[in-house]
């Protein structure tokens, strides 16, 4: 069985982490710059009472930006990956219920969104894409150690602390 060395896996992890960070940063930014469209997109799911559409449309992009930022920095990677995964599950559930109820909407995952003509929906593609993102989050959940991360930087510091603490070196 092929065993990849730790540094290679850390490097791959960094690619996964930064890729997922880019997904959340881009999707959050596209929603933030067009708040009217984001309200339309959230409203089109016909899930929330009218009073909650605005707050969710305002808050969701901020959560996405925060998750994206924390992923990009590589801090508390396992917990942030868990949050990212849970967010993706919620978004996939929203898309799936729209599909099941026969709504004709665009998911508005990366800006845009709202009603589309019947036959112009892309539910399978949207769900497949989200599953792909969830796989990335799953990797980080299972193996949160990545290169170029604050986590790694802190671990390196702690290692020297461990040495200073006088434990035998092996």
Give the CA dihedral 36, 99, 123, 96, nearest 10 degrees: 90
Total number of residues that touch other proteins (CB under 8 A): 42
Q: Does 28 bind other proteins (CB under 8 A)?
A: yes
C-beta of 58: minimal distance to other proteins in Å? 6
Q: 77 Cβ partners below 8 Å, 6+ apart? A: 17, 71, 140, 144, 145, 146, 149, 151
Q: Does 107 bind other proteins (CB under 8 A)?
A: no
Considering only residues 125-154, where is the footprint of other proteins by CB under 8 A?
145, 150, 153-154
The residues that bridge with 114 in the sheet, in sequence order, are 106
Calculate helix-pair angle for 50-73, 6-32, nearest 10 degrees: 150
Q: Does 27 bind other proteins (CB under 8 A)?
A: no
Q: Does 66 bind other proteins (CB under 8 A)?
A: yes
Q: Does 36 bind other proteins (CB under 8 A)?
A: yes
C-beta of 34: minimal distance to other proteins in Å? 8
Q: What is the DSSP string of 43-109?
A: HHT--S-HHHHHHHHHHHHHHHHHHHHHHHHT-SHHHHHHHHHHHHHHHHHHHHHHHHTT--EE--B
Q: Does 1 bind other proteins (CB under 8 A)?
A: no
C-alpha span between 23 and 86 (Å, rounded): 15
Q: Does 163 bind other proteins (CB under 8 A)?
A: yes
Nearer to other proteins, 128 or 159 (CB): 159
Considering only residues 70-99, where is the footprint of other proteins by CB under 8 A?
70, 73, 75
Residues 106, 41 contacting (CB under 8 angstroms): yes
Residues making contact with other proteins (CB under 8 A): 6, 28-29, 32-33, 35-40, 43-44, 50, 53-54, 58, 61-62, 65-66, 69-70, 73, 75, 114-115, 145, 150, 153-155, 157-159, 161-163, 165, 167, 169-170
């Amino acid at each position: 069985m092929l065993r990849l060395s730790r540094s290679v896996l850390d490097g791959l992890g960094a690619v996964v982490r930064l890729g997922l960070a880019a997904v959340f940063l881009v999707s959050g930014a596209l929603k933030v710059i067009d708040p009217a469209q984001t309200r339309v997109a959230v409203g089109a799911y016909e899930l929330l009472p009218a009073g909650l559409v605005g707050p969710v449309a305002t808050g969701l992009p901020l959560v996405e930006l925060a998750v994206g930022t924390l992923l990009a920095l590589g801090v508390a990677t396992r917990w942030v990956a868990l949050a990212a995964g849970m967010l993706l599950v919620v978004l996939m559930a929203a898309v799936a219920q729209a599909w099941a109820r026969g709504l004709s909407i665009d998911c508005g995952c990366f800006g845009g969104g709202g009603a589309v003509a019947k036959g112009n929906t892309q539910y399978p593609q949207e769900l497949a894409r989200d599953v792909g993102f969830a796989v990335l989050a799953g990797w980080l959940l299972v193996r949160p150690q990545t290169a170029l991360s604050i986590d790694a930087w802190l671990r390196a510091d702690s290692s020297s602390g461990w040495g200073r603490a006088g434990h035998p070196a092996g």
